[in-house]
Amino acid sequence: MDFQLSDMHKMVRRTTREFAEEYIAPVAAESDQKSRLDPEVMEEMKRMKFFGASIPQEYGGAGLDTLGFVIATEEIGRIDASWSITFAVPASVCSYPIYLFGTEEQKRKFLPALSSGEKLGAFVLTEANAGSDAQSVQLSATKDGDEYILNGSKIFATNGGIAKTLLAVTTTGTVGRRKELTMFIVDTDTPGYSVGVREKKLGVRASNTSELVFQDVRVPEENILGKRGDGFKLTLAILDYGRILMAAQIVGLGQACLEKSVKYANERVQFGRPIGSFQGIQYKIADMATEIEASRLLTYKAAHLCDIGQDYGLIGSMAKLYASEATMRAAHQAVQIHGAYGLTKSYDVERYFRDAKMAEIYEGTSEIQRMVIGSSMLRKYQ
Amino acid sequence: MKIFVCVKQVPAVEKIKIDPKTNCLIRKGIPSMINPMDKNAIELAVQLKETHNAETIGLTMGPPQAEEVLRQALAMGIDEAYLLTDSKFAGADTLATSYTLSLAIKKILKQKKVEEDYLIICGNQAIDGETGQTGPELAEELGIPQITYVENFQLQGKKAIIERSFISEEVVVIETKLPLLLSVVRDLNDPKYPTMAGIVNAYHKEITHWNATDLSADKKKIGLPGSRIIVWNLFSPERKGELTLLEGTPEKISKELCDYLQKDKVL
């Protein structure tokens, strides 16, 4: 068993870290406060091919393996969770599924613009009455000749307000007592499509989260991903992959909590010595470091299993669950170590704390991850 | 056109450690990186590659782990790379290094059947030795013109236009033609980060390794035997005393400096 990263993975880490520290770190706090994505960062991230991270180069992507994609996501997440999800979400749950499940024609048509970032992608599942319960989707797609007409709405769509290409989960009727779900690739320039309310959030505030409205949006039948009725199966597969990248982003955020805590503990003097010399503070830092490292190992294992073609769904769920809860604890302690300063916007840990809470909720809540892991265990050891 | 870029792996630390027995840099356990000005050299080469349809070639001399800086050059967009590595090259000063580099460049030029249509770009100096000699000596070995401290470079057809400013604030504009060696400074350009695709591609490429035999090198001119500089002592200077920064025109600074030196009875 080899825990060493390859030289290529090390260069991905070094390059992404240097880029994030130079371009994103100086604007992260302001982007959070103004809820905006910095355009200069966006241009550089497009140029560096982050948006096509794991898409093969023949479709305009970077051609990284999943572990490379994970490392890049972690390093961006170490500086700014908003940027991490802004690129890793579309790259993992919009473009990558098109690569995996799309026809050759769909890949040629959609992947180059998604990979270059010329068109941002979004995967839209959640609705007012569906999210964790994917089966309850109400966005309807009604066949009309060689087109489908979409009606309904989606909420909490990551990149929703700025996306140009959507993977939308719709219902195309019922089969027996179950809804039939079908997934469409939707161009947001299509008439009848509009962006509704943009959410004002607690955390990851720079990231665009919006409501999307579909009123008689006509989508050609050739834009169905997979086959009609494959929607539920594809949704589960897509979320499995996306979870690895979410775990990576959250590991990066946890790492940031750890590093800022250590820096502050070494600088802050009380009772005539740095607070880091007190055992009470050291214990907090020890727990953070241990839990973040464990989260990282779970995440890298999930990525590795994916790269060697083995089943990674369960480990990916464990990684997302453990990383998000470990990072929430780390953020909690990071603010505690910073004392009253940690409550102010002068210190990054205030932002990390808000961002960490989001991590326990989006892309599958901790409760959903436990359902996935628990039911898997009950099947495995029955 | 062929563009050669010579790069160097340097220690990535502010304060170097020296082995008191050998007077050599302690490299073990010290992270290394590409010499910063070499990134400017690579950036220029990559820009010229796009505008002039040139083929770009990266070169370094060093231990096997120096391959990493060539990977970085490939990731930034250099087409192919050569590592000159042999225990016989160890201990080389700038003279022995430039001789070794010149042999590799001559060999590549011969292989590619190129006589005059080439450009060599080096970083002006490396942050470890700070000599700034390897580029100029390489030009001498090859018998081609050299321009140092290059801040701006344009290639118009066969004509090369170079800007350099040195000491005074005046800019010198030089017009010349290929072949030519440039050593460039940081003001030349803003090196771009490699793309993720560039990094993937860099690790799919073969790096050619050449040793002293491959280069038919004269063993008296390489490594320690080929070096004219013998290091007696090497140390990190301690900062002591007061620092006074002189500002103004070169004439004003020179005069003030002379006044200081006279006051301290040095002159």
Q: ipTM value, please give it.
A: 0.94
* In a domain? residue B264: no
Nearest to B119 by CA among B82, B98, B79, B147: B147
Q: Within chain A, where are the H helices?
A: 7-19, 25-34, 39-47, 66-79, 81-90, 96-101, 104-116, 231-267, 279-307, 313-338, 348-359, 366-380
Say what the pLDDT of residue A230 is.
Answer: 96
Distance CA(B45)–CA(B52), nearest Å, equals: 10
User: What are A146-204's pLDDT values in tens digits?
Assistant: 999 999 999 999 999 999 999 999 999 999 989 999 999 999 999 999 999 999 999 99
Instruction: Write the CB contacts of B170 (distance below 8 Å, at least 6 apart in sequence).
Output: none
Domain limits of chain A?
A: 7-119, 122-230, 233-380
Distance from CA of A377 to the nearest CA of B (A): 37
Chain B residues touching residue A7 (CB < 8 angstroms): 68, 71, 203
Task: Find the largest Cα–Cα distance for chain A.
Answer: 79
Asked if the structure places residue B215 within a domain, the reply is no
The pair of three-digit structure tokens given for residue A243, joined into one six-digit string: 């979870």
- pLDDT for B242 equals 83
Contacts of B197 in chain A (CB under 8 A): 49, 52, 57, 61-63
Residue B250 lies in a domain: no
Do the Cβ atoms of A155 and A209 come closer than 8 Å? no
Output the CA–CA distances (angstroms, integers) from residue A29 to A275, A342, A347, B106, in the order listed. Answer: 26, 14, 9, 53
Q: Is residue B75 part of a domain?
A: yes
**Number of domains observed in the structure of chain B:** 1
The pLDDT assigned to B22 comes to 72
Percent of chain B with pLDDT over 70: 97
Q: Could you tell me the fold of the domain covering A122-230?
A: Butyryl-CoA Dehydrogenase, subunit A; domain 2 (2.40.110)
The pLDDT mean for chain A works out to 96
Q: For residues A202 and A353, give the distance between their C-alpha atoms in angstroms, rounded to a whole number.
A: 10
Given the residues A221, A291, A363, A367, the one annotated as active site: A363
CB-based contact A49 B72, cutoff 8 Å:
no
Residues of B in contact with A50 (CB under 8 A): 196
CATH number for the domain spanning B95: value is 3.40.50.620
Q: CB–CB of A303/A66 below 8 Å? A: yes
- Interchain proximity B194–A11, CB inside 8 Å: yes
**Chain B nearest-CA residue for A56:** B197
The pLDDT, as a whole number, for residue B166 is 67
Specify the 3-state DSSP secondary structure of B184: strand
Domains A7-119 and A122-230 alike in fold: no
Contact criterion met (CB < 8 Å) for A8 and B195: no
Asked if A78 and A201 touch (Cβ cutoff 8 Å), the reply is no
Query: Which residues, other chains included, contact B218 with Cβ-Cβ below 8 Å and sequence gap of 6+?
Result: B226
| Contacting residues for B157 by C-beta, under 8 A, at least 6 apart | none
* SS3 call for B221: coil
Burial class (CB in 10 A: 0-12, 13-18, 19+), A310: exposed
Residue type, A7: D
pLDDT score of B128: 82
**A interface mutation test: which of B199, B203, B205 has the most A CBs within 10 A?**
B199
3-class SS at A221?
helix
The segments of chain B whose pLDDT lies below 50 read none
Residue of B69, B83, B196, B205 best to disrupt the A interface, most CBs of A under 10 A: B196
- For the segment A322-337, the average pLDDT, to the nearest whole number, is 98
For residues B179 and B116, is the Cβ–Cβ distance under 8 A? Answer: yes
Which CATH number is associated with domain A233-380? 1.20.140.10
List the 24-83 stretch of A: residues with Cβ below 8 A of B: 44, 47-50, 52-53, 57, 61-64, 68, 72
Mean pLDDT of chain B: 91
Q: Which two tokens stand for residue B239?
A: 């900062």
CB atoms inside a 10 Å sphere around CB A80: 33
CA distances from B56 to A95, A216, B250 (A): 33, 54, 39
Spatial distance between the Cα atoms of B155 and B168, rounded to a whole number of angstroms: 25
What are B's interface residues with A at a Cβ cutoff of 8 A?
68, 71-72, 75, 192-197, 199-203
> Homologous superfamily of A7-119 in CATH?
Acyl-CoA dehydrogenase/oxidase, N-terminal domain (1.10.540.10)
Query: What's the domain range around B198?
Result: 2-210
Q: Which tokens in the block code for residue B219?
A: 């063993």
- Residue B121's pLDDT is what? 97
Spatial distance between the Cα atoms of A123 and A139, rounded to a whole number of angstroms? 14
In the residue annotation, A363 being an active-site residue is answered as yes
